[in-house]
Amino acid sequence: MHTILLTALTLCAAVFAQSSVVDSFVASESPIAKAGLLANIGPSGAKSSGAKAGVVIASPSNTNPNYLFTWTRDSALVYKTIIDQFVRGEDTSLRGTIDNYVSSQAFQQQVSNPSGSVSSGGLGEPKFNIDISAFTGAWGRPQRVTHPWLADGPALRSTALITYANWLIANSNTTFVTSTLWPIIKLDLDYVASNWNQTGFDLWEEVQSSSFFTSAAQHRSLRQGAALATAIGQTSVVSGYTTQANNVLCFMQSYWNPSGGYMTANTGGGRSGKDANTALASIHTFDPTAGCDSVTFQPCSDKALASLKVYVDSFRSIYSINSGAASNAAVATGRYPEDSYFGGNPWYLTTAAVAEQLYDALIVWKKQGSLNVTSVSLPFFQQFSSSVAVGTYASTTTTFTTLTTSVQNFAEGTLAVIAKYTPSNGGLSEQYIKTSGVPTSATDLTWSYASMLTAFASRSGVVPEAWGASGLVASASCGGATGGGGSPSAGTVQVTFNVQATTVFGENIYLTGSVDALQNWSPDNAMILSAANYPTWSITVSLPANTAIQYKYIRKFNGAVTWESDPNNSKTTPASGTLTINDTWR
């Protein structure tokens, strides 16, 4: 006991010393980051010349690399930061730029571009010129016209605007929400609801792949969209949004890699799937009322913590600036370990995401007065206390104090890494060189500044609004939807259905069959398959063991339902283990 207390006291002293360094960095960098962010927003930002009102430039850098464009994703994340500050009452002067953003996005949605028009895929276009004209230069768009780019932008934009809409409703301005915001939000939500399972490009716009960050953002947007629609009387869309939110939540479970102990960030590109994508997903879908829920990948959930450790550890030996750091010490992190862009370096925003996830976790643990160590999160906690065991630890225990103090120290250490490699003027580029820490790539990256502001807010205990993650349960038929790393129910086996089926844009493949787990031949309740490996559509379902089943695939498109040809498919499930079925649509 004396050893544990001494360890806790030593850790507290280390945290105090390190926190004083971070305190100074936060105090100096906060106003610089805020000013840097606003400088990149048109029309009056100091570095945004040529940008229309409410348009966020990614960076003023126009050569090597040229980032003088506006990305829907980056802009939404930046304005979510701005809107959060406004609705919390921290800066009421921001309302004008928020309204400029609303107007700019209403216009941008209607701009036809290489991905299509507003009604044919154009909402998935990732970037535009800063005068809100279409970008028509060379780009890595998918060549299949029936499966255009699926971006995270519409989901993130709708989430930002819903946050503003909720504030307006609370302040007696529902009319503006209904007349001005809702038409913009609904276009984005309809796009997400119709296209969430179409394979596009990953978060970093490099490979065709399903992306966990995108799926998580889409799930949140549909939940919030259904709630907003209810609040303003647009009830006709609520059921559709909720149904698709359930489908996305189900699909999210399939990214989990149980043998590796982490959430696979992307399904393509020949990568490990260890990626900042997952930490970014966790912090941008943080709901403080959801506790440590693993189904929605909350920051303190066992799966999110396990993933964070795997992600951070993947950079310990590949960046020279991390040399000499202890195996449980904070280090610089980048996008993914296989990265070669600009030589493959740490990024300010990805390093900040590590700290922010840990600060978010600490907020929840302290609020609920306990933390839970599962078999999934055990490796994460063992890096701080080798003797810790699976169990729940109340805030009155020394184990709780030791672990939370260690996590706090790790989060502070991560911000200290950023502070070490931030130039004296506080300017934040996209990356800092892995051998020297010297800033590189795009200067004054707007997303870098936003990431500092959100990490600093979490450090100070600021929590975002709840968005409906509390109490959600993924269907028992979802692959991997077993909470904290458990196993499927006794008497069941995991059956993966794969079917080769070509589709047109907006058309989806579903599965139903003869047992409860296959929805008893119901076309309305049929389970949607994932198109992550198109033209193969897949789903994994828990089915009764040693049971004869019959099943069919169906197509749904514009309200029409088309059944596969007779006869029914038949199979007998094994007594144990797993089964993979490979079919072709007929």
Active site (catalytic) residues: 202, 205
Cβ atoms 161, 177 nearer than 8 A: no
Q: How many CB atoms lie within 10 A of CB 36?
A: 25
Q: How far apart are CA 372 and CA 374, in angstroms?
A: 6
Q: How many CB atoms lie within 10 A of CB 563?
A: 12
Q: How far apart are CA 126 and CA 137, in angstroms?
A: 13
Q: How far apart are CA 376 and CA 454, in angstroms?
A: 27
Q: How many CB atoms lie within 10 A of CB 254?
A: 21
Structure-token pair, residue 498:
């794969």
Cβ atoms 347, 335 nearer than 8 A: yes
Chain centre distance of CA 386: 31
Q: Is 521 annotated as a binding residue?
A: no
Q: What is the DSSP letter of 342?
A: G
Q: Report the relative pairing of strands 439-440 and 431-432 from DSSP bridges.
A: antiparallel
Distances (CA, A) of 263 to 147, 220, 259, 419: 25, 18, 11, 29
DSSP result, 454-518: HHHHHHTT------S-TT----TTSTT-STTT--PPTTEEEEEEEEE----TT-EEEEEESSGGG
Q: How many CB atoms lie within 10 A of CB 504?
A: 11
Q: Which residues are annotated as a binding site for substrate?
A: 139
